[in-house]
Structure 1
Amino acid sequence: MMINSACYSFVSIAKSKLRFKKINCTLPETESGIEHNPTSTRASSNSRTNKMEEYNIAMKKMMRNPYEYHHDLGMNYTLITDNLIVGSQPQKPEDIDHLKQVENVAYILNLQQDKDVEFWGIDLQSIIKRCQELGIRHMRRPARDFDPDSLRSELPKAASSLEWAISEGKGKVYVHCTAGLGRAPAVAITYMFWFCGMNLNTAYDTLTSKRPCGPNKRAIRGATYDLAKNDPWKEPFESLPEYAFADIADWERNLIRDCVHSLRGS
């Protein structure tokens, strides 16, 4: 697959030239649940309500449980580990101030496509500008919402950006999509699976116990298969049982890490 070919062209370089800092995967001592920005205000327009209904209908179709996004309540997020936060989209520059001052966020990883931002009327450029003013590194790894195949293909690069930001150790990393219920938690779970020594079910349960959500586990398994199963005669992922690649051997995890490291800057 394309990911594997790109990976192996860089692995030798990654092994010989890059050094990586120890990653802190420590879970926070306290679980604060989902926190709400106190500066949030309720929207009252019918168009905003219709947008939420439209989005939630699509979300319910793609998830096993009927989780909903309440845009009118403002940005919401959950501390997953000491240096990793998963949440919904920042809606205004003041949200960036909050993340910097209250949570010491030094990196933001945005999984949204342009059309997601436009759908909710977010002025992304003003948010990026505020990030620059506050010294926050804003990164984008767009994946199509409600599309497991798009998420699967983007997970290696997104996990690469997340792992790099955490390894820099300059502050917390805020990972978000639109609602913080699908793409963003999937990237966080993938990172915990590949880099924190957990199997997929443990990583999934750890995150979802803190932030109730429904990320696509099959997309994570598929991305793991793409990187770890490099035999030219490998069986198709679609023919494998549901438990396949929910856990991996140490050599497979090391192979995945080398591949992910090689994607830095791509």
Structure 2
Amino acid sequence: MEAVGSTPFTFSSPLLSPPSQLQKTAVFFSSSPKQIAKDSFKSPKICCKFPENEVGATQGFSTKTDEYNIAMKKLMMNPYEYHHEFGMNYTLITEDLIVGSQPQKVEDIDHLREEENVAYILNLQQDSDVAYWGIDLPSIIKRCEEVGIRHMRRPAKDFDPDSLRNGLPKAVSSLEWAISEGKGRAYVHCTAGLGRAPAVAIAYMFWFCNMDLDTAYKALTSKRPCGPNRRAIRGATYDLAKNDPWKEPLDSLPEYAFEDIADWERQLIQDRVRALRGT
């Protein structure tokens, strides 16, 4: 990854990798971020937008970051970490879909609009998430309006598979609508972009892109290492495909149940998801 006139800053980061598999990630500071973005997506890499005045923030981690990562590892049972001090980070999953962490300031919105052609932002955070990190969400929403980005919210509780399962249908309905509008890319984010946001993207790919769950899961995680709750996606799939009130519960079915779906089930799911638009 090269950018003309840039100074590279390279660090060993567990940002989106297990601690035992640290990878070198190159982040460039330049007056030409468009070139950086283009280069960074030639291969599966994470694009990091460092706070302009916090280049030295890699020296140690904040208490909030440490607390968040401890909770994530305990409740999600995966080794991935989020480092707020590194700024917004994201990954292009398909030509129409980006998955990432929370925008932290209005300049992040300008970057997404100008450099990534983002026309829709789907925010999965609860108000408590936003408050925890001290994000000025009203200013971010206002900036979205000013630059022509449609900002949508479908809150789900962090680290909670049941909340994610219940929220997936409505979240995917918003994402599917945004992508079908075709006016620009959709940016899906939660806090870290490691759980809720990739789960919504995977569910969309599973339900609307003619993939089975394993294919969709691998397609996303091969580009953005993360650990979304697979069972929550299966559960939401089961809920949407259920056409018999007496159908045996998901917990009594084999682990592979609803890893794939029949054509009639996919059509039923699509119809039910689309019917949730605007609700």
| TM score, norm. by length of structure 2 | 0.82
C-alpha distance in 1, partners of 2:169/2:63?
34
Structure 1 residue runs without a partner (length 5+)? 1-28
C-alpha RMSD over aligned residues = 1.8
Q: Is residue 148 of structure 2 the alignment partner of residue 130 of structure 1? A: no
Match of 1:204 among 208, 217, 221: 217
Contact 2:92 2:98 in 1 (8 A): yes
What are the superposed Cα offsets for residues 45-78 of structure 1, whole Å, 9 maximum, x if unpaired? x997110011001111133431000000000000
Q: Is residue 190 of structure 2 the alignment partner of residue 177 of structure 1? A: yes
Aligned partner letter, 1:30 = K
The residue aligned with 2:43 is 31
The residue aligned with 1:113 is 126
CA 1:108–1:205 in 2, change beyond 3 Å: closer, same or farther?
same
User: Counterparts in 2 of 1:1-266, with a 5 A limit?
Assistant: 30-40=42-52, 41-42=54-55, 49-266=62-279
CA 1:61–1:38 in 2, change beyond 3 Å: closer, same or farther?
closer
| TM score, norm. by length of structure 1 | 0.86
Structure 2 residue runs without a partner (length 5+)? 1-40
CA 1:238–1:43 in 2, change beyond 3 Å: closer, same or farther?
farther
Contact 1:43 1:72 in 2 (8 A): no
State the 1:239 CA deviation: 1.4
Aligned partner letter, 2:45 = G
Aligned partner letter, 1:185 = P
Aligned partner letter, 2:189 = H
State the 1:42 CA deviation: 4.8
Q: Provide the secondary structure at the position in 2 that maps to 1:58.
A: helix
C-alpha distance in 2, partners of 1:144/1:47?
28
The residue aligned with 1:21 is none
C-alpha distance in 2, partners of 1:42/1:238?
48
Contact 1:195 1:257 in 2 (8 A): yes
Instruction: Could you list the structure 1 runs, at least 4 aligned residues long, displaced by more than 2 angstroms after superposition.
Output: 29-32, 38-44, 62-65
- The structure whose residues are more often strand, as a share, is 2
Contact 1:88 1:177 in 2 (8 A): yes
Aligned partner letter, 1:36 = C
Contact 2:44 2:222 in 1 (8 A): no
Between 1:255-264 and 1:32-41, the stretch displaced more is 32-41
CA 1:42–1:112 in 2, change beyond 3 Å: closer, same or farther?
farther
Aligned partner letter, 2:112 = L
C-alpha distance in 1, partners of 2:103/2:56?
15
- The structure whose residues are more often helix, as a share, is 1
Work out the number of aligned pairs and report it. Answer: 238
Identity among equivalent positions (%) equals: 75
C-alpha distance in 1, partners of 2:139/2:61?
21
State the 1:172 CA deviation: 0.3
Q: Provide the secondary structure at the position in 2 that maps to 1:97.
A: helix
C-alpha distance in 1, partners of 2:56/2:158?
23
